[in-house]
Amino acid sequence: MRITRRQAIGGLAAVATLPATRLFAQSKLALPTSPVALNVADVAGNLALTQTAIENYAKAKPELVSKITFTKAPAPELPGKLKAQQAANRLDIDLVLTGTDALSAGLEQDLWVKLLPDHSASLPDLAAIYLEPAHRMLALGKDHGVIVTYYPSGPLLEYMPDRVKKVPATAEELLAWAKENPNKFLYARPANSGPGRTFLMGLPYLLGDADPHDPVKGWDKTWAYLKELHKYIEYYPTGTGALMKELGEGTRDMTVSTTGWDINPRVLGVVPKEAAVATLKGFHWVADAHYMCVPKGIADEKLAVLLDLMSFLLTPEQQAFTYDKGYFYPGPAVKDVPLSMAPQESQDAIAEFGRKEYADWIANNPVEIPLDPSAMVVAFRRWDEEVAGKKS
């Protein structure tokens, strides 16, 4: 078929009206001609896993990075801070390392740059490199976050065997144990604790609730359970570190945990090595991940460097550092990163403080994806108001 000049011009005019993001979604941003300084904010404890790799990037690419500054903050504080900076056009955070908590709040408040597929050309083929559950976790970022670390998480029970003679085997037995041993069971506020959050989202599976992904209409058993359990809990720490300290000091006998929060505090001596873990009947893993998010308002030249940094952090060689000392065990989000690639100190720590049963539990129990961001925000709000805010 012959195409006339008028048809050709008309076609070009139609293309010209298409959104620029559609035309150039797969083009790469230009890297800067001089190095930039980057500010990285961590609200998930992720730097324990990735700081060495990020510093490796600065060493490998001095033509792109002049300096990297690291800051840490509690997850609930970050969204408000970012929103205020963006409103004032005075953004001083370039990259955020976050769990699903601040990720969700940031999505709700429209704080993040859309990374996928707009900048896919600057990133590796994520579907090809990620572990299967990590790739499923990517959906929670709603195209605004790229996963950097992953683990199956929990919820696990962690306890001191010399003080807990009969370990609960079901959620009902855990409630009965808490009633018989008031103030000896503790968990942290879910909005600011990986184990607390995993416990909250794991209960619907343990209790056989109507819809584990609907905290409004599908969690009747879960909310009733948590309100009853509340009667035997003294208070809720605002972070997991404080909780583990109490377990280690003997103030508490039992808590909820994850693979990483089991291994790492014992490596560090915060919790005695002899602490034990267990699962409850009906156990499903509720996976967790850390995301790399970029706040809106970042200049294109910095975004180009950040995308290059993300790609670097997802190489197997840099992912091997995420084994750390078991903090997010295993840690790597990508395939084909065995423990043997990790630094020797990581291998030694996991050899001594890891648990043989983890391989079996990971292989033979379902791995579920957490609530989507909007549902997670609702769940946190309901827990704050209806559980922690409820008078005993």
SS3 labels along 319-381: HHHHHCCCCCCCEECECCCCHHHCCHHHHHHHHHHCCCHHHHHHHHCCEECCCCHHHHHHHHH
CA dihedral 252, 255, 257, 261 (to 10 degrees): -10
3-state secondary structure of 203: helix
Identify which has the larger pLDDT, 193 or 147. 147
Burial of 106 (0-12, 13-18, 19+ CB in 10 A): buried
117 upstream amide cis, omega within 30 of 0? yes
Alpha helices by DSSP H, listed for 43-182, are 47-60, 78-87, 100-108, 126-129, 132-138, 171-180
Identify which has the larger pLDDT, 316 or 101. 316
Two tokens, residue 269: 């001596």
Contact 220, 211 (CB under 8 A): no
Q: Which amino acid is at 113?
A: V
Per-residue pLDDT for 323 more than 80?
A: yes
The distance between the two most distant Cα atoms of the chain, rounded to a whole number of Å, is: 87
pLDDT score of 391: 59
Identify which has the larger pLDDT, 226 or 100. 226
Q: Which residues does residue 38 pair with via DSSP β-bridges, in sequence order?
A: 68
Kind of pairing, strands 185-186 and 254-257? parallel
Q: What is the pLDDT of residues 150-164, one digit of tens each?
A: 999 999 999 999 999
Task: State the average pLDDT over residues 175-182.
Answer: 98
3-state secondary structure of 26: coil
Identify which has the larger pLDDT, 74 or 379. 379
Task: For residues 218 and 62, give the distance between their C-alpha atoms in angstroms, rounded to a whole number.
Answer: 52
Per-residue pLDDT for 281 more than 70?
A: yes
Percentage with pLDDT > 90 across the chain: 86
Task: State the average pLDDT over residues 87-107.
Answer: 93
Confidence at 26, pLDDT banded by 50, 70, 90: low
Per-residue pLDDT for 135 more than 70?
A: yes
Per-residue pLDDT for 266 more than 80?
A: yes
Tell me how crowded residue 170 is: count the other CB atoms within 10 A of its CB.
13
Tell me how crowded residue 238 is: count the other CB atoms within 10 A of its CB.
16
pLDDT score of 22: 39
Per-residue pLDDT for 24 more than 90?
A: no
Tell me how crowded residue 128 is: count the other CB atoms within 10 A of its CB.
9
Per-residue pLDDT for 310 more than 80?
A: yes
Contact 329, 263 (CB under 8 A): yes
Mean pLDDT of the chain: 92
Domain residues of the chain, as ranges?
36-152+288-350, 156-282+359-387
Q: Looking at the domain that runs over 36-152+288-350, which CATH code has it been given?
A: 3.40.190.10
Identify which has the larger pLDDT, 213 or 191. 213
Q: What is the pLDDT of residues 354-391, one digit of tens each?
A: 999 999 999 999 999 999 888 988 999 999 999 998 75
**Percent helix / strand / coil, the chain, rounded to 5:** 45, 15, 40
Determine the length of the chain: 392
pLDDT score of 374: 85
pLDDT score of 16: 42
pLDDT score of 392: 47
Contact 290, 44 (CB under 8 A): yes
Residue 345: what are its φ and ψ, rounded to 5°? -65, -30
pTM value is 0.84
Confidence at 20, pLDDT banded by 50, 70, 90: very low
Two tokens, residue 382: 């309901």
Identify which has the larger pLDDT, 392 or 318. 318
Per-residue pLDDT for 84 more than 70?
A: yes
Domains 36-152+288-350 and 156-282+359-387 share a fold: yes
The CATH architecture assigned to 156-282+359-387 reads 3-Layer(aba) Sandwich (3.40)
Q: Which residues contact 134 (CB under 8 A, 6 or more apart)?
A: 147, 150, 287, 289, 333, 334
Q: Which residues does residue 70 pair with via DSSP β-bridges, in sequence order?
A: 40
pLDDT score of 6: 42
Q: What is the pLDDT of residues 199-247, one digit of tens each?
A: 999 999 999 999 999 999 999 999 999 999 999 999 999 889 999 999 9
Q: What is the pLDDT of residues 27-55, one digit of tens each?
A: 789 999 999 999 999 999 899 999 999 99
Confidence at 2, pLDDT banded by 50, 70, 90: very low
Task: State the average pLDDT over residues 66-91.
Answer: 94
